[in-house]
Amino acid sequence: MIQLAVKNHNSSSERRQVQIVSVSEEEAGQRLDNFLLRQLNGVPKTRLYRAIRRGEVRVNKGRVRPDTRLEAGDAVRIPPVHETTTGPGAVGGDRWAQRIRHAIVLELPDLLVLNKPPGLAVHGGSGVKVGLIETLRAMYPEQRYLELVHRLDRDTSGLIMVARRASVLRELHAQLRSDRINKVYKALVWGRWPSHLKQVEAPLEKTSLASGERMVRVSAAGKPSLTRFRVLKRWRSATLIEAKPVTGRTHQIRVHAAHAGFPILGDDKYQTPQAQALAATLNLNRLYLHAAGLQFSLGEERYQLEAPDTDEMQAAMAALDNLTD
């Protein structure tokens, strides 16, 4: 494994002149906001979005939206930026960098696959200054392109793919849309999941509480969603299940499990009082959901990867083995 140093960015790297940056072939297909985050590493997202909104950032001399997809040869106007992230953001990235180095399970010229630790957001935002993608970009300062192929919730552990070329991102997205990538999760749920319950098909809709917290609910107005389930092991008060999401909706496995009457232990959004009590008994302090398996093709190769259970998962199952109701 090549050892890579983490590069810290501070006020000495501030941009003080307007730049016109040409989009390369490998950078084509990126969203504008992601492109700017790479170009202005260390600048808060709020500052970048404000610059786009005000028209300070332009593409081919025209005003654009943050989600504009860039094409090879586009000329991006980047204004002088005098706000940078210092202190907590950099420290957070340093703290995670060593764990991320050891979490790399597959390193190819065009792709990284990592066994993401629980507690690490995949990207910054919503109160999170540093996530997986920001830390990777600091670890690979010479890499002009690094983009998440898919996402995991902050407390979900396990396998996640990061593309190093735009063409690879497009190819893997096409495989995801056509169900050619097999993602397998493990979850520990409250109650005894019945063997005959092999799938949950229920439309899911995003919503927000009065507090602003994002939630997902089963609703006829939602998007079609399907998850397949299989029982791996049962205890008197809990079940270890395998979950395969056929569609890829936000919180899909979590909401479908709860909708079926078997919420995932440690899920602070969708758990019931009974599930909460059992999680406390087992000393589970996070969502017990793990991206355990991943199968995909790249070029002529077919990859089949597995991520072992985390220490917390093993401890919870050992506690269940010794638990008497």
Which positions are annotated as active-site residues?
Answer: 153
The conformation of residue 263, written as its DSSP 8-state character, comes to P
Structure tokens at 195: 């063997």
Q: Three-class SS of residue 169? A: helix
Per DSSP, the residues of 15-54 read: B-S-EEEEPPTTTTT-BHHHHHHHHTTTS-HHHHHHHHHT
Structure tokens at 75: 């000329």
In 232-310, where does DSSP find H-type helix? 252-259, 273-281
E strands, the chain, in order: 19-22, 58-59, 75-78, 104-107, 111-116, 147-148, 157-163, 182-190, 199-201, 204-208, 214-218, 226-234, 238-245, 289-298, 301-306
Q: How many CA within 13 A on the CB side of residue 235?
A: 19
Residue carrying the six token digits 């997809």: 69
Q: Which residues pair with 74 in a beta bridge?
A: none
